[in-house]
Every structure is written in structure tokens, then in C-alpha cells.
Amino acid sequence: MRVYACVRALLWRAVSPALLLASAVSFAATPDRQQAQAQVLDHAELLCDNCFFGPSYYYYCFAAGDKILIGYQRTQVLNWRDESKNYLTRVHRAWTIWTPPGESLPISYDDKHIWVARPDGKQVKLTLDYSRDVFRSNNRCQQAVRVKDH
């Protein structure tokens, strides 16, 4: 029995530093995000109607300083009878659609994502995407899609 206790102690001492190092790396600071005060220029919806666990896409166009940022939120939808509802938000609050609080809001962004805050303070991560021309009412958003596309 003493042999097993010695082996267990030796393994614990060998594995503990590796676990500490792995946890330090996993909880390290996120890459530098740029902070900005942004204006919502336009938004568009690509809805999945009569869906049974299908995705809907909500696109947002922001002006942050001299940059135009376009991001989307993908949410799972269950709405086979009423396309204006998503019955899954009762189960999973993260699938609630983010709605802009006003014309100007603080955002943070990097090369792949935009983070915005919900009214309860939780962050919503939007994925940057310039591949779809979904905006119809704002020329700056349309131009940003065309410039990134070519």
C-alpha cells in the first residue's frame, strides 16, 4: 500500500505544475480588443421562418470612428407556427436577439468579432462578416461590403 501512496504522490507532484500552467494559459487575457464608441447605421434580418432548430441571422452595421464594422448574430430558432417568435429563448437566454439600445453605444472589436452589451450587462459576440450585401437603406454599409468583397 505504501508503494501506491508514493506513486500517487509522485504523479501528483509531476502533474500539478502542468495543470497550473495549463490553467494560467487558458485564463490568460484575451487578445487586445479595440474599444470604440459606435453608431448603429443599419441592421438587417435573414429570418428562418417555419423553422425547427434552424438558424436566423441578424446583421448590424456600425460606424466606429473612420471604420465601418459589419457583424452578425446567429441564433437558433424554433418557430414552426409563428415566425415572429423564438420558443427557444425560454430555454436558452443566449439565443435572445440583441437589439441596439440607441444610436450610439460602446463596442469592442478585433479582427474576427464585435462585442456589444445587452441591457442586463452581458456581452454579445457578433461575428465580423463583409460577404453579404443585406443592407438596403445605408450607402456606407453597402459600400463597405463592396470594398471588402473585391
* Tens digit of each residue's pLDDT (9 = 90 or more) over 30-56: 568 889 999 999 999 888 777 777 888
* Tens digit of each residue's pLDDT (9 = 90 or more) over 123-133: 999 999 999 88
The pTM of this model reads 0.72
What is the distance between the alpha carbons of residues 61 and 64, in angstroms, rounded to a whole number? Answer: 10
Q: Identify which of 95, 90, 43, 50 has the alpha carbon closest to the alpha carbon of residue 74.
A: 95
Cell numbers 425547427 correspond to 52
Give the CA angle between residues 88, 70, 86 to the nearest 5°.
10
